[in-house]
Chains A and B, each alone.
Chain A
Amino acid sequence: DTEVTQTPKHLVMGMTNKKSLKCEQHMGHRAMYWYKQKAKKPPELMFVYSYEKLSINESVPSRFSPECPNSSLLNLHLHALQPEDSALYLCASARGANVLTFGAGSRLTVL
C-alpha cells in the first residue's frame, strides 16, 4: 500500500462551521505534512509532524488546528474559516528527509 488517502475530496462550509479534514497512510512513514495550495500556485507548507509530534508550524492562523492521533493518521480541524481559506489542502508523508508522497487533496470552499 503506497498511498496517502485524504477525505473528504470536496468540502463546502460556512464561516461559522466546524469541520475536519482527514489523512491516512500505511507506509510506515513517521513524518506527515499539511500543505495548502491556491489555484495556479505551488503548495505551501502549513504543518509538519515528526513521530506524532508537531515539529513545524509555518505561522498558520489558529483557525487551523492539526492533530496526529497516531502514526498513520493526520487531521486538520477547521473552525471559523474565511473565504480566502478556500483552497486545495494536501496531505503528504515521508520517511525522514526524503521524497514526500502526496494525497489527492481535499478541495475546500468557504462560503
Chain B
Amino acid sequence: GESVGLHLPTLSVQEGDNSIINCAYSNSASDYFIWYKQESGKGPQFIIDIRSNMDKRQGQRVTVLLNKTVKHLSLQIAATQPGDSAVYFCAEIPYSGGGADGLTFGKGTHLIIQP
C-alpha cells in the first residue's frame, strides 16, 4: 500500500556536525509534508513543513528538501546539539480539498548526538 517511510532507523552524529535524515514517500498525490521531532516521553513537535509546489524551505538550523521526481524528502540539521537527540518523523497530508484527514507518519529515525 501507499506509505511514507524512512531509510535509516538510527543515525549517530558528532555534536557540531550536520545531519541529514531521509524519507521516501509513495503517494504522488501528497500535497503537504511535515517533519516532527519527538523526544522521549513527549508528543511529536512540529519542526518545519513544505508544500508540494516548493523544493526547499529553511528554518532556524533546519532545511527541508523535497524531490518530487523521486518522491524523496530530507531534513538537514546544521551544527547539531545534544538537544537535537530525538526521533524524527516525516509525515504527509494528501490533497483533500482542505478537509481534516490527519497525518500519515513515516517509520521514524532515531537521531543520536555523540558528545
Which A positions have Cβ atoms within 8 angstroms of B? Answer: 4, 30-31, 33, 35, 40-45, 48, 50, 55-56, 90, 92, 94, 96-97, 99-105
Contact = CB atoms under 8 A, between A and B. Distances in A.
A97 B98 contact: yes
Q: Is chain A's binding surface mostly helix, strand, loop or mixed?
A: strand
Q: Is chain B's binding surface mostly helix, strand, loop or mixed?
A: loop
Contact of A97 (B42, B46, B100, B107): B100
B43 interface: yes
B46 A99 contact: yes
B54 to A, nearest CB: 15
A43 B104 CA distance: 8
B66 interface: no
Interface residues of B, number: 25
Contacts of A94: 100
B42 A105 contact: yes
Contacts of B106: 42
20 contacts: A4-B43, A35-B102, A41-B107, A41-B108, A43-B44, A43-B103, A45-B102, A55-B99, A92-B43, A94-B100, A96-B99, A96-B100, A97-B100, A99-B46, A99-B49, A100-B46, A100-B103, A102-B43, A102-B44, A102-B45
Given A42-B107, A43-B105, A97-B32, A55 B100 contact: yes
A54 B42 CA distance: 26
B102 A100 contact: yes
Contact of B100 (A35, A43, A48): A48
Contact of B44 (A31, A90, A96): A90
B96 interface: yes
